Amino acid sequence: MFKFNLRLGGLLAVLMLSVLLVACGDATSTPAATTAAVATTTVAAAATTTQAVGAASPAVVDSGSNAVTVAGQINSALPKLAKKDKYRVGFAQSESDNPWRLAQTASMKAEATRLGYDLVMTDAGGSTAKEVSDVESLIAQKVDVIFLTPREEKPLAIAVLKAKAANIPLFLIDRNVDQTQAKPGRDYITYIGSDFVKEGQTAGEWLIKATSDKAKIIELEGTTGSSPANDRKKGFDDLIKTHPNMQIIASQSGNFTRNEGRQTMETLLQAHPEVTAIYAQNDEMAIGAIAALEAAGRKPGKDIIIVSIDGSKDGIQEIVDGKIGAIVECNPRFGPVSFDTMQKYVNGVQLPVQIINVDRFFDSSNAKDLVSTAF
């Protein structure tokens, strides 16, 4: 009887294995299913890595050195980039009013210099309209390729389409455009940057723990209409909504700058003195908020818990000084990964439609050791 059961068990196991193999075969033979599966897996991998990094991270992280990719089809009708010894590379920067932007520009310039390419850079100075005309000017100058960091999602999608119409390959770096207007692989080559939704979620997860799941939160948002402001809000707010004792009492833009972060915080503090936590969508606004809190006699880091995003030197120093609790990194060192991706495109390598940077996480356990590695 026992022998018979063993045999029957073996037979059943073989049968189940065959069913599984057939199922796998079906999935891989359907292109749509394969792409979806790859994309889901890689996005999930990015999420895990973002959370897992921390004290064990390398000293200085080049933005693309351990990026995670999202598979997808790059349309062969997109503008091509011929092999050349030297390129004229257009780079449209949105503004230069904070350390993050300066670090991004420095990284792009350094890599262009290292490769011996001409970098034709424009700076929109915080004006979305100017950035649209900056891209038009790069098109008129007939640069070989354009790297664009779009200030706002919707208006810059139009500029992306203009580059495509002019047959100039365009890569989005750092910020994205409205996906209903322009898509990677169809209208521009690919997107290289951080997972902003995940950044917001990670900040929220830390804040929930740090406040024992009970807080009255002020949210300082970045530039209205920009992809980091939209996505960081989504990641944070969607998570916080599921925690009934975590309450967002006010949410307002500080435009990603220290000064506007301070001014916004001054106003909100008067209207909401009951605040116990601040989520600042970047370090500069967090530092501005600290100034406003201290001027009002409040104690950042003690009676008001702060979490932010970026990982600037000044920001991490605030962790060392006990005023900011934690920072989710958003790495601005785009030079190496941008030019490497461009080279791959020249060489006909099949590119993913998204290249997601792996960011670190800073808190009191590693801030002192890592502050010197920050921008």
Q: Name the residues that contact ligand AHR, by CB under 6 A.
A: 98, 100-101, 174-175, 228, 256, 282, 309-310, 330
CB of 227 to ligand AHR, least distance (A): 7
Nearer to ligand AHR by C-beta: 211 or 331?
A: 331
User: DSSP per residue over 116-141, as a string?
Assistant: TPEEEEEE-TT-HHHHHHHHHHHHHT
Q: Return the number of the residue (153 or 363) whose C-beta is nearest ligand AHR.
A: 153
Q: Supply the minimum distance, in Å, between the C-beta of residue 161 and ligand AHR.
A: 21
Nearer to ligand AHR, 187 or 284 (CB): 284
Rounded to the nearest whole angstrom, what is the least distance from the CB of residue 38 to ligand AHR in the complex?
A: 26
Task: Please classify residue 138 by burial: count the beta carbons closer than 10 Å to its beta carbon, then call 0-12 exposed, 13-18 middle and 19+ buried.
Answer: buried
**CB neighbourhood size of 126 (10 A):** 17
CB of 194 to ligand AHR, least distance (A): 7
Chain centroid to CA 223:
14
Shorter beta-carbon distance to ligand AHR: residue 144 or 314? 314
Residue 98 or 354: the one with the smaller Cβ distance to ligand AHR is 98
CB of 125 to ligand AHR, least distance (A): 13
Alpha carbon of 239 to those of 89, 202, 219, 226, 357: distances in Å? 40, 9, 14, 20, 22
Nearer to ligand AHR, 79 or 325 (CB): 325
C-alpha 344/C-alpha 81 separation (Å) is 10
Three-state DSSP class for residue 334: coil
Q: CB of residue 291 vs ligand AHR: minimum separation in angstroms?
A: 17
For the CB of residue 295, give the shortest distance to ligand AHR in the complex, in Å.
Answer: 23
Residue 136 Cβ, how far from ligand AHR at the closest point, in Å? Answer: 22
Instruction: State the minimum distance, in angstroms, from the CB of residue 174 to ligand AHR.
Output: 5
Return all residues near 290 (Cβ < 8 A) that are at least 6 apart: 300, 306, 318, 323, 324
Looking only at the bridges linking them, the beta strands covering 191-193 and 145-148 are unpaired
- Pick the closest to residue 111 from 137, 89, 136, 78 (CA basis): 89
For ligand AHR, the closer of residues 169 and 254 by Cβ is 254
Minimum CB distance to ligand AHR smaller for 101 or for 198: 101
Instruction: Answer whether 170's CB lies under 8 Å from 188's CB.
Output: yes
Residue closest to ligand AHR, measured at CB: 100
- Decide whether 144 or 152 has the Cβ nearer to ligand AHR: 152
Give the chain's radius of gyration (CA, Å). Answer: 23
* Phi (first) and psi of residue 297, to 5 degrees: 80, 15
Are 223 and 151 a contacting pair, CB within 8 Å? yes
H/E stretch holding 215: strand 215-221
Closest-CA residue to 328 (of 41, 93, 47, 97): 47
